[in-house]
A and B are shown apart, each in its own frame.
Chain A
C-alpha cells in the first residue's frame, strides 16, 4: 500500500498516483501494483486470468494515464511530423489516429506510438518512452511547439465486446459508428471527452481521454453504466496477455529504443520489425531516411515473427534452433493463449533463417526438478487472435 497523503515531490515518493488512483486502489483486492513511467498502476486487481477474460468476454477498464503524451502544435506541425516519422503524415486526415514509427539517423527505431490528428496544426503523439530531446532537436527550424501533456490528460482504455454498448449507455450517441483508428469528441460535463477507437488488446475497444479533474467522475459513470455488461478493471498483467495475443510489439521487451542501445547493432530497423509499409521514401527527407534506404538495399538482418509452439509450456526467454542444432533466434514474449488454446510467442529470427524445422528449448520446473524440452514450433501470421468484432462498423453491442 502506498501512502499518497504527503506531497508528491520526488523526495517524498518514488511513484505518483494517477487521477484514478482512489478508485483503482479501492478495486485492487489483490494489492499488486507496478510502476509505469513513474506512476503506480494496478498489476493485478483480482486475478490476471479473470481480468483477461473480462476483456475478451465483456469489458475491461485499464488506467492508461502513464502513456507519454506530447502535444504538438503550430503552423509547421504537419511538415515537422513528416520529417520526424517514417510514414507520410500528409495522408493522415483530421480525427484519424495513425500508428507511427520514428528512427534515429542510423535507421534504428526510437519508438512506435499513435498520432492523434486534430488538425494540420495540432496533434498528440502517444508513446511508451520519453523522447522530448529528440522531438525538440528535430523541431529546429519549424514553427511548432511541443509540450509534454502526460500529467494533464487522464486516460482509460475501455476494451472488450460490450465496450461500445457501455459507452452508448453513458450517453455517447453514435459511438457505434466510430470506425477503428478514428476519434470523436463528446461533451462531458462542461468539458471535452475524446474517444478513440484504439487499444492494445486486439479486440473491440476504445480509449478515453479527459481532463484529470473529471477522472473519478468518468470512472464512476463507466462502472455504473457497465454494471449489467460485466465491466471489470484490469491490470498490466492481463494487458500483457492481451497485447501478445494481438501481436503488438512492446519497446524494451520486443525491441530496444535506439537511444537506449549501448551495444552496437542491438537497434532494429522498421523493416526488421515488420513495419516496412510504414516507411515512405516518396515523401522527401525524414529522420533516418539515408540509413533506411541503405538498410532496405542490404535487406533486414533479423525478422520479428509470431510463433506457435507445441505443448502448453510458455517458451519464456528461449533460444530458437534450426533442426534442433543451429541457433537462429530468441523468444522475446511468450504465453499460453487462453483464447486460441495455443502456446504462442513473439520472436527474433535471423533474416536468412529457414522457417521450417524450427525448435525451441523450454525449461520446465517439475517439483523443483528441471526438465529441458526441445519443442517444435512454426511461424504464423499475427495477430494470433483477431475477432471479427474488432473492426465491425457499426460496433456490435456484445
Chain B
C-alpha cells in the first residue's frame, strides 16, 4: 500500500517535472506536498473572492520548451502568452519604455542618450553570445572537473569546445562576465543613468547582491536567456496564473499513473543500512521507495529532513555555508480597476509589461545598503506587473490583479524576527512608493497580500525566502551547485537525490533541474524515459 518505486518530496514545478519523467519510465511514483495545494512557488490561489493570485513567481520565460513538449503540457491545458511593454519611471516625471520593435526601442533610448541608443545593439549581441554559450548547458548535467569518469571528461571537453568557438577576446569577456558586477558590465556600453538603471533591474531580482556586487552581471543573463516561442529574452504569463504550470504538470503526471498527496509534510528521511528507503511524515505515516527525490532547497533538505548522522561532516558544513540569502518580498494586490500612471502618454503599451520605479543603479545600490543594515529598502525596487491585462480570466471583468515583486527585504530584521507591525510598515513603504507614480492607485486597492521573506519561507518552504534556492554566483553555479562533488543531483546517501533549484542550472520556473535529475536517477536504474 505505502510502497512505491520513487517518492518526490515537494510538489513545486521541479518536483512535478521530475515525477513526470519518472512516471513516464513506468516507475510507480508518489509526490508528497506539505501544503493543501500543489505548485510550491508556481501557484495560483484565490485569496480574495473572484481574484486569482499568482502570488509567488509571476512570469514565465525560462521554462524549457523541450520539457513543455515532452510532457505534453499543451494537451494538459498549459498556455504561455507573451506580453509586451514595460517601463522605468524616472524621478523627474519622465519614463523609459520597452518596445519589442528594434527602431522604436532605439528612438526611445535616444530620448536619454543618442550614443546608448546605438550601443544597445552591441550590448544585445554580446549578451546573446553569452546566452548561446550557456543555453545548451541548461539541460545537461554539469561535468565534475575532478572526476575521471568518461562522461565527465566528455562534458569538460564539451565545455572546452564551447569556449573554443569564441575568439580570444570573447573568451576573456566570457570569463569576466561570470564574475564582474552588473554596474561594471553596463558601464562598458552605456552612459545614461536611466538606461543603466532600467537594464540593471534584472541583475538583482532574487539575489542578495547589489548592482555593484561582483557576480551580478550573470544574473542579468539568467533573466535574459529565457524565451517565448524562440524569441530570446521574451517573457510570458501562464494563462490562469503560474499555478497553471503546476496544474498542467500534475495532470500530465496523473496521466502516467502518478499519485500526489497534499497535506503531507515530510519530517524525516528513513535510511537503512546507509541507503534511503522511505520517508516519515509529521502525522506519523510512512512511505517506502528505494528512490527518494527532494525538491526542497539544499538547506531544508539536509539540515531539516535528513538526520545529520547519515551525512559526512564536510558535506553538512558546506550545506550550512551555502549562500541562500533572502532578499525579496512580494505584494499581491486586488484592484477595483486599472490604475493610471500620468507620466505615460495616453494609450501607452508600456503598462502591459514590467513597471520599475528605480531609475538608476545608484538608487538600487542604496536600497541594497538598507538590506545589509537589516531593514527593507526605504526607497524600494519594485517589479510591478498587472498580468490581468494579458490574462483577464483571473479577475472579475474590469478588475485587475497587480503583482509587485519587491527588493530588498531581509529574512531577519536588525530588530529581530519580522513582526506584524514590521510587515504592515513594509507593505506601506511599497504602496507609498508606487502611489508616487499613480495617484489613484491607493483608492483602487481592494485587498493586498504582503509577503516578507519570512512568509515566503513559511508558506513556500524556500529557505530565507530566496526565490532561486540559493545565490546564482559562479561559486554556486555549474559543477559548484549546490556543493562541489554533488552537482549531479545525487546526495551522499545512495537512493537519495536532489531535483530543486539549488541544483544546476538554478532558479526560475525552468524545470531543468527536475528534468536533469530524472535523467540521472533513471541512468542509475539503467533506464531511460
Chain A residues at the B interface, C-beta cutoff of 8 Å: 7, 9-16, 35, 37-38, 106, 130-133, 136, 148, 259-264
The chain A residue with its CB closest to the CB of B166 is A264
Q: How far is the CA of A15 from the CA of B99 in the complex (A)?
A: 12
Q: Which residues of B contact A262 (CB under 8 A)?
A: 125, 128-129, 132
**Can you list the 9 inter-chain pairs with the closest CB atoms, starting with the nearest?**
A38-B103, A10-B104, A14-B101, A132-B118, A133-B119, A14-B104, A130-B118, A10-B107, A10-B108
Nearest chain A CB to B92 CB, angstrom units:
17
Docked pose: A114 CA to B156 CA in angstroms: 48
Interface residues of B in 105-141 (CB under 8 A from A): 105-108, 114-115, 117-119, 121-122, 125, 128-129, 132
Closest A residue by C-beta to B127: A262
B345 within 8 A of A: yes
Question: Chain B nearest CB: distance from A15 CB in Å?
Answer: 7
- Chain A residues lying within 8 Å of B132, measured Cβ to Cβ, are 262-263
B132 to chain A: closest residue by CB:
A262
* Contacts A131-B118, A262-B132, A264-B165; A11 near B350 (Cβ below 8 A): yes
The answer to whether A261 and B118 have CB atoms under 8 Å apart is no
Q: For the complex, what is the distance from the CA of A167 to the CA of B1, rounded to whole Å? A: 95
Min CB distance A173 to B, Å, is 38
CB distance from B219 to the nearest CB of A (A): 21
Confirm or deny: B97 has a beta carbon within 8 angstroms of a beta carbon on chain A: yes
Q: Are A260 and B104 in contact (CB under 8 A)?
A: no
B125: chain A residues within 8 A (beta carbon): 259-262
10 A-B contacts (beta carbon < 8 Å): A10-B97, A11-B344, A12-B345, A13-B104, A14-B99, A38-B104, A133-B115, A136-B115, A148-B114, A264-B165
Instruction: Please name all residues of chain B whose beta carbon is closer than 8 Å to the beta carbon of A9 when the two chains form the complex.
Output: 345
Contact call A11/B345, Cβ cutoff below 8 A: yes
* Chain A residues with CB under 8 A of B129: 262
CB nearest to A131 among chain B residues = B118
Measured CB to CB, the nearest residue on chain A to B350 is: A11
Q: Are A14 and B114 in contact (CB under 8 A)?
A: no
Expressed in whole angstroms, the minimum distance between the Cβ of B114 and any Cβ of chain A is 6
From known contacts A260-B121, A260-B125, infer whether A38 and B106 are also in contact, taking CB-CB under 8 Å: yes
Q: How far, in Å, is B352 (CB) from chain A's closest CB?
A: 12
Q: Do residues B115 and A35 form an inter-chain contact, with CB atoms below 8 A? A: no
Contact B170 A264 (CB under 8 A): yes
The listed residue (A11, A16, A133, A264) touching B167 by CB distance below 8 A is A264
CB distance from A120 to the nearest CB of B (A): 25
Residues of B within 8 Å of A35, CB to CB, are 103
CB distance from B225 to the nearest CB of A (A): 13
Residues of chain B with a CB closer than 8 A to A136's CB? 115
Can you list, as one digit per residue, whether each of B71-106 has a CB less than 8 Å from chain A (1) or not (0)? 000000000000000000000000001010101111
> How far does the alpha carbon of A246 sit from the alpha carbon of B348 in the complex, in Å?
44
The smallest beta-carbon distance between A269 and chain B, in angstroms, is 14
Question: For residue A264, which residues in chain B have a CB less than 8 angstroms away from its CB?
Answer: 165-167, 170
Q: Which residues of chain B are near A10, meaning CB under 8 Å?
A: 97, 99, 104-105, 107-108
Write the chain A residue with the least CB distance to B99: A10
Q: How far is the CA of A261 from the CA of B115 in the complex (A)?
A: 20
Which of the residues A16, A106, A132 comes within 8 Å of B114, measured between beta carbons?
A: A132
A133–B121 CA distance with the chains assembled, in angstroms = 10
Known contacts A133-B115, A259-B121; 13 additional CB pairs below 8 A are A10-B97, A11-B97, A11-B344, A14-B99, A14-B101, A14-B104, A15-B103, A38-B107, A132-B118, A133-B122, A259-B125, A260-B121, A264-B166
> Cβ of B99: which chain A residues have Cβ within 8 Å of it?
10, 14
- How distant is the Cα of A259 from the Cα of B106 in the complex, in angstroms? 16
Q: Counting CB contacts under 8 A, is B169 at the interface?
A: yes
Residues on B with C-beta less than 8 A from A259 are 121-122, 125
A110 to chain B, nearest CB (A): 11
Q: Which chain A positions have C-beta within 8 A of B97? A: 10-11
Q: Taking the nearest CB of chain A, how far is it from the CB of B346, in angstroms?
A: 9
- Complex formed: what's the CA distance from A132 to B106 in Å? 12
* Closest CB in chain A relative to B316 CB, distance in Å: 43
Q: Which residues of B contact A133 (CB under 8 A)?
A: 115, 118-119, 122, 189
> B121 touching A130 by the CB < 8 A rule?
yes
**A325 vs chain B, min Cβ distance (A):** 27
A16 neighbours in B (Cβ, 8 Å): 107
Residue pair B103, A37 in contact (C-beta under 8 Å): yes
Contact A11-B348, Cβ < 8 Å, known A38-B106, A262-B128:
yes
Q: A14 touching B103 by the CB < 8 A rule?
A: yes
Complex alpha-carbon distance, A35 and B101, angstroms: 11
Set of chain A residues within 8 Å of B108, measured between Cβ atoms: 10-11
A81 to B119, CA, bound (A): 20
Please name all residues of chain B whose beta carbon is closer than 8 Å to the beta carbon of A106 when the two chains form the complex: 167, 169
Once the chains are docked, how many angstroms separate the CA of A35 from the CA of B169? 34
Across-interface contacts of B189 in A (CB, < 8 A):
133
Question: With a CB–CB cut-off of 8 A, which chain A residues contact B349?
Answer: 11
Instruction: Give the interface centre of A35, A131, A133, A262 by most chain B CB atoms within 10 Å.
Output: A133
Complex CA–CA separation, A214 to B170 (angstroms) = 48
From A129, which residue of chain B is reached at the shortest CB distance? B121
Specify which chain B residues have a CB less than 8 angstroms from the CB of A130 in the assembled complex: 106, 118, 121
Question: A11, A131, A136, A148: which has the most chain B beta carbons within 10 Å?
Answer: A11
Distance of B440 from chain A, by nearest CB (Å): 21
Which residues in window 348-378 of B have CB below 8 A to A? Answer: 348-350
Q: B348 — which chain A residues lie within 8 A by C-beta? A: 11
C-alpha spacing A9/B96, complex, angstroms: 12
In the assembled complex, which residues on chain A have CB atoms less than 8 Å from the CB atom of B169? 106
Q: For A260, what are the chain B residues with a Cβ–Cβ distance below 8 Å? A: 121, 125
Determine the chain A residues whose CB is within 8 A of the CB of B167 once the complex forms.
106, 264
Chain B 450-481 per-residue mask, 1 if CB under 8 angstroms from chain A, else 0 = 00000000000000000000000000000000
What residue in chain B is nearest A38 (Cβ atoms)?
B103
Q: In the complex the two chains form, is B165's CB within 8 Å of A263's CB?
A: yes
Within 8 Å CB of A148, what residues of B?
Answer: 114
* Binary contact track B144-185/A, C-beta < 8 Å → 1, others 0: 000000000000000000000111011000000000000000
CA distance A260 to B128 in the complex (A): 10
Q: Which residue on chain A has the smallest CB distance to residue B349?
A: A11
Give the shortest distance, in Å, between A236 (CB) and chain B (any CB).
15
Bound Cα distance A133, B110 (Å): 13
Looking at A10, A35, A132, the one whose CB has the most chain B CB atoms below 10 A away is: A10
- Which residues of the partner chain B approach A14 to less than 8 Å between Cβ atoms? 99, 101, 103-104
Q: What is the bound-complex CA distance between A143 and B5, given in angstroms? A: 75
Query: With the chains together, A136 CA to B165 CA distance in Å?
Result: 30
CB neighbours of A38 from chain B (8 A): 103-104, 106-107
**Bound complex: CA A362 to CA B121 (Å):** 34
Whole-angstrom CA separation of A7 from B104 in the bound complex: 13
CB distance from A40 to the nearest CB of B (A): 10
Mask of B308-347 contacts with A, CB within 8 angstroms, 1/0? 0000000000000000000000000000000000001101
Taking CB atoms, residues of chain A closer than 8 Å to B117 are 132
Give the Cβ gap from A301 to chain B, nearest Cβ, in Å.
Answer: 14
Residues of A within 8 A of B128 (CB): 262
Q: In the complex, what's the smallest C-beta–C-beta distance from B165 to chain A, in angstroms?
A: 6
Most buried by B among A7, A16, A262: A262
Closest CB in chain A relative to B213 CB, distance in Å: 26
Cα A394 to Cα B486 in complex, Å, equals 80
- In the assembled complex, the Cα of A106 lies from the Cα of B103 at a distance in Å of 28
Residues of A near B345 (CB, < 8 A) are 7, 9, 11-12
Instruction: Tell me, in angstroms, the Cα distance from A136 to B189 when the chains sit together.
Output: 12
Q: How far does the Cβ of A382 sit from chain B's closest Cβ, in whole Å?
A: 29
Q: A260 vs B125: C-alpha distance in the bound complex, in angstroms?
A: 6
- How many angstroms between the C-alpha atoms of A124 and B506 in the bound complex? 50
| CA–CA, A12 and B345, complex, Å | 9
A9–B95 alpha-carbon span in the complex (Å): 12
Residues of A within 8 A of B165 (CB): 263-264
CA distance A7 to B349 in the complex (A): 15
Bound CA span A38–B350, Å: 19
A136–B118 CA distance with the chains assembled, in angstroms: 11
Cβ of B193 to closest chain A Cβ, rounded Å: 17
Min C-beta distance of B110 to chain A, whole Å: 9
A7 to B348, CA, bound (A): 13
